[in-house]
Chains A and B, each alone.
Chain A
Amino acid sequence: MKIKIDKMIKSTIVLLSLCIAMISLFACSNQAQDQTRKQDQTQKQATAIDKSVAMPVITIMTHDSFSVSKELIVKSQVKLGVKIVILKSGDAGEALNKAILSKNNPLADIFYGVDNTFLSRALKADMFVPYAPENIDSVDNALKLDSENRLNPVDYGDVCLNYDIKWFKANDKDVPTMLEDLIKPGYKDLLVVQNPATSSPGMAFLLATISRFGQDGYIDYWKKLKANGLLVTNGWKEAYWGKFTAASEGNRPIVVSYASSPSAEVFYSETKLTQAPTGVVIENGSAFRQIEFAGILKGTKNLSLAKKTMDFILSKDFQEDIPLQMFVFPANQTAQLPEVFEKYAKITTVPALIDPQLIDTKRDIWIREWTENILQ
């Protein structure tokens, strides 16, 4: 028995050291990156593990939905002479809050993914370096919301209603064309939306209704929606994958999603669909334009390289990579769209927009009003 217990202790120790060794090995490369970022001169050991760490590192802090293709990053790292590290930090709101909290000792050199609903909060925190990237002139002026170029637009998309084409055909109903349709008796129990307090498309849709019906009228509209059998979930995932008839066994044929969602449906289908299973409602001011911004964080240890990386983000290469990675539109107008996007992703000509300043001052009030009237 003695021996067995000894064995148990020994094997525990072996296991522990094994794990720590493996993680250390992995962490070394990370730690090393962190140090190079701080221009530390003790890189010699790390180079043995990963040759690329000899290059200076630029860290991009972003939200969980961020994506980019591997090939592009590998190629650009050589071209720019930097190693790019991407730090995912939670959903859009959370990532920004983490950046604000750590502004005195930033986690990264660049922050990617402040949207226009959070723009004022980000600018107020005074944590971005003004810089106009090379290709900023190719960006539509309507997207530029910060005149000092602390935050530059990088991509955008429209949040709007998506509907299940098959369902509407099978039930012999007209598809909705504007927000006003949803309160008609014929559309009872068909809609699922997200809670604006916990979801960014939910917030965007609330803003679309505020833009459409005004600050005094929007609550009345929502009350009518509620009376017409509105369903609310906390996040996009639960609504789309849990309730939307086109994507789940749910019973709601209308959902709040993105105007580019149909192209993702086509792209991520096995038997290459020739027609998207979902349609979008983008006319009559029913789509809210979400614009994402990126900026250089104050406190970056390598401003010139951070600027070069910002140029890269607005370069044609990176911008053309965006659509299929994140299913949003590139801000740079010279970027070519992929075929599936040209065909199936939609964008409105007259988006609903609200001044970021106003969003910032009213955000809490609107959410509170909405919560009190719709959830209780």
Chain B
Amino acid sequence: MDRKYTPVEKKFNIHPYVLAGLVPTCFFLLFYFYPLSGIFLKSFFPEGKISFLFLEQVFASTRMMKIIWFTFWQAGLSTLLTLVCALPCAFVLSRYTFKGKKTIKILASIPFVLPAVVVAAAFQACFGNNGFFFGMKIENPLVLILYAHVFYNFSVMLRIITGFWATLQGRIKEAAMVLGANPFQVFINITLPLLKPAISAACVLVFIFCFSSFGIILILGGPSFSTIEAEIYRQAAHLFNLPLASFLSLIQIGFTFCLMWIYTSFTKKAAMFAPDAEKTNLKQPVFLWEKIMVAGVIIFILLLCVAPLIALVVKSLTYNDTFSLIFYKALFENKTDSIFYIPPFNAIKFSFLFAVTALVIALFTGVCAALFIRFCDRKINNKWTSLFDPIFMLPLSTSAVTLGFGIIITLDKPPLNLRTSIFLIPIAHALVGFPFVVRAILPALRSIPENLTDAASMLGASPLKIFKHIDLPLISKALVAGAIFAFTISLGEFGATIFTARPDTPTIPVAIYRFLGQPGAMNYGQAMAISAILMIVTALGFVAIEKFRKESSEGF
């Protein structure tokens, strides 16, 4: 009621959330736009002149057009398949509580960290070379690509949808039931529309991920299938046709931007607010059909995600058809005294260190970005600010080779002489993990009613205080999902091994590639063994992240 209060506040015109927005913006300008513009300038204006040869190389080539078309449809189909697999599982996981639920969820997320070469080995170990998978020949590259995409992204979809579904209030559904709607009608008319924000967020994420798929296409798909991303790699790394590679990167970035822009302008309206609904929604499976459903989902997830992993572990433990720890033992000896020998504990240590640092950077910038985006939606809401959200998604579909080349030619002078710096590795990982964090927490953040925060601010709480006491507890669950994504992306090193010119930083994926680089049965066995270790490290990381949240926000 004190009228003088407002003018005093006005002196500091910059809202803390705008300051928060500066964090991801600077992060992006420095580590994303600056290197990219550097490589684009160098590619398109090599001697100050531009040549449009690359336009012809793209639009006049049937092969290139086929690649672009394939990139789109395989991403669409992969997303659809992932949704079909994940939705029923999400339904069961968000409704029922049962023993081993957490374990199942963790197991389903492990594929995300495995390098594509290892996934190929896992599939082969699991299904055999001429095996069949749901009636289709596993050797067919297209089947492999689609299966691998589902295998990788299933947990992304599952986590985002389950997290959201669990918070939907049961009351509306019950009301509809009382009014005579059958379960199917309830699902179509009530649950599905309510779930839309989470489903679309997950689908967009998975689509972009498959759209810029690289390792899977190159390794499992073989040479007859190529995506834009794989083609960029070919053009940049092998043919050294930088203008073409850069132009393809631009197409990719431009498309992702448009897709995200359309998507974000449709999803500003947030979902229902029901912070505590989860506890009241969850129940034990009682009836037989419920039990069958739960069992069905468990078996499905085990078959889809876990069976190949187990086959891999079995392979790492078998030598000459008998159980043996020989490959694990061999990990500890440096047979050739190579300077690049990687002691397993060192690899684990480095992987963990990078993953945790990347996680913290991604979470911090991600939360800042999400707060900023919400602030823009609610308080400013003009055309320009709505561009931030799509921009923040771009690293997900930016070719690692292009960005890596950009870094080499731009971040080469003090104070930013980062080309060979060890800091560049977690930064690169965080850049890719960041979009996942934003997508994971934004729906939760938006679901917090505006009047709740407004009331707090009216009562004199500073924005920081509001964040600490209102926003943070309410998004903690989404934060965990984001953290897990950022963590796994770093552990799996998506394309980041080709990101930088690195000094000796022995992470687990680097060790896997090192072993697979030379012939010999011992090398192969050790690669399997260290892959198994990577899975265990990942699982432990997940448990730690979940525990961290529980301990810090218990009692809410």
Residue B322, interface by CB 8 Å:
no
User: B468 touching A5 by the CB < 8 A rule?
Assistant: yes
User: B338 touching A264 by the CB < 8 A rule?
Assistant: no
User: B339 touching A105 by the CB < 8 A rule?
Assistant: no
Residue B18, interface by CB 8 Å:
no
CB-nearest residue of chain B relative to A269?
B521
Known: A5-B473, A232-B222. A30 touches B522 (CB 8 A): no
Known: A233-B222, A270-B319. A238 touches B120 (CB 8 A): yes
In the bound complex, how far is the Cα of B116 from the Cα of A233, in angstroms? 14
Residue A89, interface by CB 8 Å:
yes
Q: State the Cβ distance, B251 to closest chain A Cβ, in Å.
A: 20
Q: State the Cβ distance, A233 to closest chain B Cβ, in Å.
A: 6
Kindly list chain A residues whose C-beta atoms are within 8 Å of the C-beta of B357. Answer: 16, 19-20, 23
In the bound complex, how far is the Cα of B404 from the Cα of A107, in angstroms? 14
Which of A90, A105, A234 is within 8 Å of B413, CB to CB? Answer: A105
Q: State the Cβ distance, A334 to closest chain B Cβ, in Å.
A: 22
Q: 8 Å CB contacts to A: which residues of B323-360?
A: 326, 330, 334-341, 353, 356-357, 360
User: A85 touching B341 by the CB < 8 A rule?
Assistant: no
CB-nearest residue of chain A relative to B360?
A16
In the bound complex, how far is the Cα of B239 from the Cα of A363, in angstroms? 9
User: B423 touching A234 by the CB < 8 A rule?
Assistant: no
Residue B553, interface by CB 8 Å:
yes
Q: State the Cβ distance, A237 to closest chain B Cβ, in Å.
A: 5
Kindly list chain A residues whose C-beta atoms are within 8 Å of the C-beta of B129. Answer: 249-251
Kindly list chain B residues whose C-beta atoms are within 8 Å of the C-beta of A5. Answer: 468-469, 472-473, 552-553
User: B219 touching A15 by the CB < 8 A rule?
Assistant: no
Residue A64, interface by CB 8 Å:
yes
Q: State the Cβ distance, A227 to closest chain B Cβ, in Å.
A: 16
Known: A4-B553, A270-B319. A249 touches B501 (CB 8 A): no
Kindly list chain B residues whose C-beta atoms are within 8 Å of the C-beta of A102. Answer: 408-409, 412, 419
User: A324 touching B360 by the CB < 8 A rule?
Assistant: no
Q: State the Cβ distance, B482 to closest chain A Cβ, in Å.
A: 13
In the bound complex, how far is the Cα of B363 from the Cα of A309, in angstroms? 45
Q: State the Cβ distance, A369 to closest chain B Cβ, in Å.
A: 12
Residue A235, interface by CB 8 Å:
yes
Q: 8 Å CB contacts to B: which residues of A223-249?
A: 232-235, 237-238, 240-242, 247-249
CB-nearest residue of chain A relative to B424?
A27
User: A375 touching B501 by the CB < 8 A rule?
Assistant: no
Which of B233, B336, B497, B548 is within 8 Å of A324, CB to CB? Answer: B336
Q: 8 Å CB contacts to B: which residues of A255-271?
A: 257, 261, 264-265, 267-270
User: B338 touching A70 by the CB < 8 A rule?
Assistant: yes
User: A87 touching B503 by the CB < 8 A rule?
Assistant: yes
Residue B183, interface by CB 8 Å:
no
Kindly list chain A residues whose C-beta atoms are within 8 Å of the C-beta of B420. Answer: 30, 34, 87, 107
Kindly list chain A residues whose C-beta atoms are within 8 Å of the C-beta of B553. Answer: 1, 4-5, 8
Kindly list chain A residues whose C-beta atoms are within 8 Å of the C-beta of B548. Answer: 8, 11
User: A240 touching B409 by the CB < 8 A rule?
Assistant: no
Kindly list chain A residues whose C-beta atoms are within 8 Å of the C-beta of B363. Answer: 12
User: B124 touching A8 by the CB < 8 A rule?
Assistant: no
Q: State the Cβ distance, B503 to closest chain A Cβ, in Å.
A: 6
Q: 8 Å CB contacts to A: which residues of B528-556?
A: 548-549, 551-556
Residue B426, interface by CB 8 Å:
yes
User: A68 touching B338 by the CB < 8 A rule?
Assistant: yes
Known: A5-B472, A88-B501, A97-B236. A69 touches B339 (CB 8 A): yes
Q: 8 Å CB contacts to B: which residues of A1-50?
A: 1-2, 4-9, 11-12, 15-16, 19-20, 22-23, 26-27, 30-31, 34
User: B469 touching A238 by the CB < 8 A rule?
Assistant: no
In the bound complex, how far is the Cα of B340 from the Cα of A100, in angstroms? 25
- Interface secondary structure of A, over-half rule: helix
User: A87 touching B502 by the CB < 8 A rule?
Assistant: yes
Kindly list chain A residues whose C-beta atoms are within 8 Å of the C-beta of B239. Answer: 197, 363-364, 367
CB-nearest residue of chain B relative to A252?
B129
Q: State the Cβ distance, B138 to closest chain A Cβ, in Å.
A: 12
Contact with B along A62-106 (1 / 0, CB 8 A): 001111111101000000000001111111011101101110010
Contact with A along B406-419 (1 / 0, CB 8 A): 00110011000101
Q: 8 Å CB contacts to A: which residues of B298-334?
A: 319, 326, 330, 334
Q: State the Cβ distance, A206 to closest chain B Cβ, in Å.
A: 13
Residue A348, interface by CB 8 Å:
no
In the bound complex, how far is the Cα of B234 from the Cα of A68, in angstroms? 29
* Count of chain A residues near B, Cβ 8 A: 85
Q: State the Cβ distance, B243 to closest chain A Cβ, in Å.
A: 13
User: A97 touching B336 by the CB < 8 A rule?
Assistant: no
Interface size class of B (residues with CB under 8 A): 35 or more
Q: State the Cβ distance, B149 to closest chain A Cβ, in Å.
A: 17
CB-nearest residue of chain B relative to A100?
B240
Which of B218, B237, B519 is within 8 Å of A94, CB to CB? Answer: B237
User: A70 touching B341 by the CB < 8 A rule?
Assistant: yes
Residue A198, interface by CB 8 Å:
yes
Q: 8 Å CB contacts to B: which residues of A191-244?
A: 195, 197-198, 232-235, 237-238, 240-242
User: A67 touching B555 by the CB < 8 A rule?
Assistant: no
Q: 8 Å CB contacts to A: which residues of B116-160?
A: 117, 120-121, 124-125, 128-130
In the bound complex, how far is the Cα of B498 from the Cα of A305, in angstroms? 29
Residue B100, interface by CB 8 Å:
no
Known: A67-B339, A73-B339, A198-B238. A89 touches B501 (CB 8 A): yes
User: B336 touching A1 by the CB < 8 A rule?
Assistant: no
Kindly list chain B residues whose C-beta atoms are within 8 Å of the C-beta of A1. Answer: 473, 553, 555-556
Known: A27-B422, A67-B338, A94-B498. A249 touches B128 (CB 8 A): yes
Kindly list chain B residues whose C-beta atoms are within 8 Å of the C-beta of A68. Answer: 338-339
Kindly list chain A residues whose C-beta atoms are within 8 Å of the C-beta of B360. Answer: 12, 15-16, 19
Residue A298, interface by CB 8 Å:
no
Contact with B along A341-376 (1 / 0, CB 8 A): 000000000000000000000011001000110011
User: B222 touching A234 by the CB < 8 A rule?
Assistant: yes
CB-nearest residue of chain A relative to B406?
A101
Residue A61, interface by CB 8 Å:
yes
Q: 8 Å CB contacts to B: which residues of A89-147?
A: 89-91, 93-95, 97-98, 100-102, 105, 107, 121
Kindly list chain A residues whose C-beta atoms are within 8 Å of the C-beta of B552. Answer: 4-5, 7-8, 11
User: A67 touching B121 by the CB < 8 A rule?
Assistant: no
CB-nearest residue of chain B relative to A202?
B223
CB-nearest residue of chain B relative to A367?
B239
Known: A23-B423, A88-B501, A324-B336. A94 touches B401 (CB 8 A): yes
Kindly list chain B residues whose C-beta atoms are within 8 Å of the C-beta of A85. Answer: 503
Instruction: Name 18 extra pairs, CB < 8 A, besides A30-B422, A93-B238, A270-B326.
Output: A1-B555, A16-B357, A31-B421, A70-B337, A90-B497, A94-B237, A98-B501, A101-B405, A101-B408, A107-B419, A232-B223, A241-B121, A248-B524, A249-B124, A265-B521, A268-B523, A327-B519, A376-B224
What would 13 A/B residue contacts be, using CB atoms closer than 8 Å? A4-B556, A8-B552, A16-B357, A19-B360, A67-B336, A90-B501, A101-B42, A101-B408, A197-B239, A242-B121, A250-B129, A268-B518, A278-B519
10 shortest interchain CB distances as A-B pairs: A268-B520, A8-B552, A89-B501, A195-B223, A94-B237, A268-B522, A264-B519, A19-B357, A69-B337, A70-B339
